[in-house]
Chain A
Amino acid sequence: MLPAELLRVSRRGNTVRPLYLEDVGPAEYVIDLYKPGLKLGEARERLREAPFDPKLARGLAHVLERSLKVEDVDKKLVTRIRVEVFRTASKQFPVVDPVDRSLVFESVASKFGIPPSEVERLFSKAFEDELEITDLPSMTPEELVAMYNTSLVQTLLFKCLELSVTFKAKGSEVKPAIRALKAYGLMYVAEDAGSRVRLVIDGPVSILKQTERYGTRLAKFIPHVFGFEDWSIEARVRLHGKTLTFREEKSTAPGLLPEPLREELFDSTVERDFYRQLSKLCRVEREPDVLVVGGRIYIPDFRVGDLYIEIAGFWSQEYLRRKFEKLAVLGFPILVLVDERLAVSAWKNLPHYVVAYRDRPRIGDVYRYIRAYCREGS
């Protein structure tokens, strides 16, 4: 993400698009400026001579500097030296003569037992641009271009009022995305769009007032979408006092960096063990589909042939109530395995197969429900 003033867009009528960087030239140029041994300030100074849009140059530099290695200074020592310099100077206030000025550094130097030049050097190290670059930038020009373009999209979304995402993806990819969305305090409404799912995303206040409040969070969320098998987005953004539309889709977008998917984790050991046992008997898909139930996303745990399997472990009341509601209206065949410590009687009213288990579900108890689908799948 970039500072807002480095956003570059092109506008046509009521639509807006980031001015993506398509060639690696500028990225090569900027990477080349950040030479080990230079001070950050010196590299930034040379950046002003770049033979292309200064906003592009500063944007690339901003992205690059995030992962740049610079010298490590002892900040505590720097502060102690500075304070001592100011104190000494204050005793002979005002210090206007250059000779008096060097005397101040000499006096502090003798106190710290280091040369005056070292005092003067450390005195300046309180500022970022005085720090020396220690390593070559660790990215290729192509990587910098992708990071820059991703940052541009995110920066444009800072000003987003509402985002809609239409996608095709596996349940196991969508699940972390929905989790992130909720963790950011965002809200969504889901609907079926043929073979795709459409999410309209905003926040609690959005229904009362157009607001950019959730823009930063939508910007943080969006890389989850870039990892989906296929996607298109449509954002309403507020720019220069106007509401504009930003549309993008996987086939036309430049390479954008997805949120890295963490190793597939099971919600519980119960699920993991069940999966391992059942996999020995038939082909089981984990979190294969994304279903829309009453405006919400529902991702069943497993699928065997046409049969979904859901394991309802021991979770909070609220979580189970929502899960219950989702399952109650589901039109697909589904086998629900319920921990018997839950209120099983309520679950029994579901129009599905419901089997209670103690501690962990046993394949022997449920195989007769699965068998018919298992043959199809294996």
Chain B
Amino acid sequence: MTCFSPVGVVELLWDRGTILIEGDPPREALGFAVFDPRVKKYRCMAIHYSRLKRVLEEKGIPFEDRVMQPACSKVEAKVKPELRHYQREALEAWLRYRRGVIVMPTGAGKTFVAIAAIAELSTPAMVVVPTVELVEQWRRRLSRYFPGKVGAWYGEEKEENCLLVTTYDSAYLSVEALGPKYPFLVFDEVHHLPSESYRQIAELSPAPYRLGLTATPERSDNLHALLDELVGPVVYEMRVSEASGRYLAEFEVEVVKVRLGEEEEEEYRRLEKIYLEYIRRKNLKFKSPAEFRKLVMLSGRDPGARRALEAWVRMRSILFNSESKVNAVADILARHRGDKILIFTEYTSLARAVSERYLIPLITHDTSSEERRIVLEGFRTGVFRAIVTGKVLDEGIDVPDVNVVVILGGTSSRRQFIQRIGRALRLKPGKAKIYEVVTASTREVAASRRRRRDI
């Protein structure tokens, strides 16, 4: 390298999630750009693109920028979405920096704030969502405002367009190629982003504009602290309690207790003994998922830990799959003949059992895309009255008039609970009803209590 950078122009190039700097960058950029001997050029993570440009501009260093190759030059909305006053407030708060997170309860219309932001910026945008159902929903909604300009990118379907809807999994894989095409990134359910791998979507994209949406930014592993750097700070916040009754339906929770079958009960108690004996002997306490991972790690070496862990897994599966839960569904269905019902289970096997017994459509990760489409469409239009699902719809489709949610099994996670009941909390007259079916005198009762606190 020459010590004296000639008057020659600095050039910024895209390289699979990173920016290559042709020529010597100023010292101020060396905090985040490093010399890469493999290519004999400086390199930095794509997320630093805006910062790098700012440094060069401030120093008055001329540079040629070959990083962004936008998918389209301009993306204009045919119509702009009409916003409620709090949605407008949220939009304006975000527009101040064009970065940041908006916190709003499920059902308050986060999607429309994002659509309005895209319309405001008129620039190619990539929307990242957790599930295939949400890809479809976003595509449908975006197409109303930007007809013919919306593509989807996941699984087998890969169609680029000015606006692109993709899943976290697909975005993680394809950001190396898609990154420079979209100056605006929208993360739906942004609390997924900070995980070790998904984080890279934000790090390896050069997008200067970023918007995150969620009802619950907090993560039990505290990684939400990273959102500041990855997307921007929380710029607007509205919690469930503020929204309930004003913008969302009121809801009522009824806990239905069922008993395990005799054999199930016996097996459960036997396993519980194995589990508890080990936990007490080792004096372990599990206050968070991170601590529970200790047991998982111990099980790699300690046969006792392995037996305890196996027992725990089997206990869970007995609770979440118990025959009496399938039976309990009959009464609930009979009580709500005229309603629209969503049933959640922890395991696919229980969802299948419910579907087969009551001939209710089923959506799980292995439902074919054709069946999935017909079922969701039919549920929306009222052809089907109930759907049973595993975890795939935890975050997902908006079904405007679901008014009964049945939870047959779930973790003690508050977020999962909020999201599941959120399916029934769209603005509409009348109360929503939530059933939680739990097995009496088991660990499940406490888990149910934990997930409902502070709501």
8 A Cβ contacts from A268-310 to B: 295
* Bound Cα distance A260, B358 (Å): 51
Residues of A within 8 A of B73 (CB): none
- Contact: B18 with A90, CB < 8 Å? no
- Contact: B38 with A189, CB < 8 Å? yes
Residues of B within 8 A of A93 (CB): 333, 337, 385-386
Name the contact of A87 in the complex, choosing from B200, B300, B366, B383 (C-beta under 8 A): B383
8 A Cβ contacts from A110-148 to B: 124, 126-128
A183 within 8 Å of B (CB atoms):
no
Instruction: Please tell me which stretch of A163-171, A205-213, A353-361 contacts chain B, meaning at least 4 of its Cβ atoms lie within 8 angstroms of it.
Output: A205-213
B79 within 8 Å of A (CB atoms):
no
- Contact: B45 with A205, CB < 8 Å? yes
With both beta carbons as reference points, the residue of chain A lying nearest to B36 in the complex is identified as A207
The residue in A75, A86, A185, A213 that gathers the most chain B C-beta atoms within 10 A of its C-beta is A86
With both beta carbons as reference points, the residue of chain A lying nearest to B371 in the complex is identified as A79
Instruction: Please tell me which stretch of A28-36, A94-102, A311-319 contacts chain B, meaning at least 4 of its Cβ atoms lie within 8 angstroms of it.
Output: A94-102
Name the contact of A240 in the complex, choosing from B297, B368, B375, B384 (C-beta under 8 A): B297
B446 within 8 Å of A (CB atoms):
no
A244 within 8 Å of B (CB atoms):
no
B334 within 8 Å of A (CB atoms):
yes
A237 within 8 Å of B (CB atoms):
no
A1 within 8 Å of B (CB atoms):
no
With both beta carbons as reference points, the residue of chain A lying nearest to B301 in the complex is identified as A11
- Contact: B204 with A205, CB < 8 Å? yes
Distance in angstroms from B310 CB to nearest chain A CB is: 9
8 A Cβ contacts from B157-204 to A: 176, 196-197, 200, 203-204
8 A Cβ contacts from B4-48 to A: 15-18, 34, 36-38, 43-45
Residues of A within 8 A of B357 (CB): 101
Residues 209-252 of A, flagged 1 when their CB comes within 8 A of B and 0 if not, give 10111000000000000000000000000001000000000000
A187-B38, A209-B45, A295-B38 known; A204+B386 contact, CB < 8 A: no
Name the contact of A79 in the complex, choosing from B18, B196, B374 (C-beta under 8 A): B374
A59 within 8 Å of B (CB atoms):
no
- Contact: B330 with A96, CB < 8 Å? yes
Residues 383-417 of B, flagged 1 when their CB comes within 8 A of A and 0 if not, give 11110000000000000000000000000000000
The residue in B16, B36, B176, B371 that gathers the most chain A C-beta atoms within 10 A of its C-beta is B371
Distance in angstroms from B103 CB to nearest chain A CB is: 28
A204-B17, A209-B45 known; A90+B38 contact, CB < 8 A: no
Residues of A within 8 A of B16 (CB): 185, 203-205
Name the contact of A126 in the complex, choosing from B337, B358, B367 (C-beta under 8 A): B367
- Contact: A85 with B38, CB < 8 Å? no
* Bound Cα distance A187, B36 (Å): 12
A89 within 8 Å of B (CB atoms):
yes
- Contact: B358 with A95, CB < 8 Å? yes
B370 within 8 Å of A (CB atoms):
yes
- Contact: A96 with B300, CB < 8 Å? no
A27 within 8 Å of B (CB atoms):
no
A198 within 8 Å of B (CB atoms):
no
B100 within 8 Å of A (CB atoms):
no
B258 within 8 Å of A (CB atoms):
no
- What DSSP secondary structure best describes chain B's contact surface? mixed
* Bound Cα distance A89, B359 (Å): 6
A79-B370, A204-B15 known; A94+B197 contact, CB < 8 A: no
A253 within 8 Å of B (CB atoms):
no
- Contact: A207 with B383, CB < 8 Å? no
A94-B358, A205-B17, A213-B200 known; A127+B366 contact, CB < 8 A: yes
Residues 161-195 of A, flagged 1 when their CB comes within 8 A of B and 0 if not, give 00000000000000000000000010101000000
Name the contact of A85 in the complex, choosing from B200, B333, B359, B374 (C-beta under 8 A): B359
- Contact: B45 with A94, CB < 8 Å? no
8 A Cβ contacts from B288-304 to A: 297, 300
* Bound Cα distance A204, B38 (Å): 9
* Bound Cα distance A128, B312 (Å): 27
A2 within 8 Å of B (CB atoms):
no
Residues 424-444 of B, flagged 1 when their CB comes within 8 A of A and 0 if not, give 000000000000000000000
The residue in A11, A85, A95 that gathers the most chain B C-beta atoms within 10 A of its C-beta is A95
Residues 346-364 of B, flagged 1 when their CB comes within 8 A of A and 0 if not, give 0000001000111111000
Distance in angstroms from B294 CB to nearest chain A CB is: 11
- Contact: B176 with A185, CB < 8 Å? yes
Residues of A within 8 A of B370 (CB): 75-76, 79
Residues of A within 8 A of B17 (CB): 204-205
Residues of A within 8 A of B359 (CB): 85-86, 88-89, 95, 101, 104
8 A Cβ contacts from A33-86 to B: 75-76, 79, 82-83, 85-86
A86-B361, A86-B375, A204-B43 known; A94+B204 contact, CB < 8 A: no
Residues of A within 8 A of B352 (CB): 127
Residues of A within 8 A of B358 (CB): 89, 94-96, 101
Residues of B within 8 A of A96 (CB): 330, 333-334, 358
* Bound Cα distance A85, B352 (Å): 15
* Bound Cα distance A223, B292 (Å): 37
With both beta carbons as reference points, the residue of chain A lying nearest to B48 in the complex is identified as A208
* Bound Cα distance A69, B204 (Å): 41
Distance in angstroms from A218 CB to nearest chain B CB is: 15
Residues of B within 8 A of A240 (CB): 297, 300
- Contact: B337 with A205, CB < 8 Å? no
- Contact: A207 with B204, CB < 8 Å? no
Distance in angstroms from B343 CB to nearest chain A CB is: 11
Residues of A within 8 A of B38 (CB): 187, 189, 207, 295
Residues of A within 8 A of B366 (CB): 127-128
With both beta carbons as reference points, the residue of chain A lying nearest to B338 in the complex is identified as A93
- Contact: B368 with A126, CB < 8 Å? yes
The residue in B18, B330, B357 that gathers the most chain A C-beta atoms within 10 A of its C-beta is B18
Name the contact of A75 in the complex, choosing from B200, B330, B368, B383 (C-beta under 8 A): B368
Distance in angstroms from B387 CB to nearest chain A CB is: 10
Residues of A within 8 A of B200 (CB): 205, 211, 213
Residues of B within 8 A of A76 (CB): 370
- Contact: A83 with B176, CB < 8 Å? no
With both beta carbons as reference points, the residue of chain A lying nearest to B45 in the complex is identified as A208
* Bound Cα distance A94, B383 (Å): 13
29 sampled A-B residue pairs with Cβ under 8 A: A79-B371, A85-B359, A86-B378, A86-B384, A89-B358, A89-B360, A90-B383, A90-B384, A90-B385, A93-B333, A93-B385, A93-B386, A94-B330, A94-B334, A94-B337, A95-B359, A126-B367, A127-B352, A127-B366, A128-B366, A204-B15, A204-B176, A205-B17, A205-B200, A207-B36, A207-B43, A212-B196, A212-B197, A295-B38
Task: Known pairs A189-B37, A205-B17; list 10 more (Cβ under 8 Å).
Answer: A75-B368, A83-B378, A86-B378, A87-B384, A101-B357, A128-B366, A187-B38, A205-B16, A208-B18, A208-B43
Give me the 6 closest cross-chain CB pairs, A-B, nearest first: A89-B359, A94-B333, A96-B330, A86-B361, A93-B385, A204-B16
Binding site for A on B (CB under 8 A): 15-18, 34, 36-38, 43-45, 176, 196-197, 200, 203-204, 297, 300, 330, 333-334, 337, 352, 356-361, 366-368, 370-371, 374-375, 378, 383-386
Binding site for B on A (CB under 8 A): 11, 75-76, 79, 82-83, 85-90, 93-96, 101, 104, 124, 126-128, 185, 187, 189, 203-205, 207-209, 211-213, 240, 295
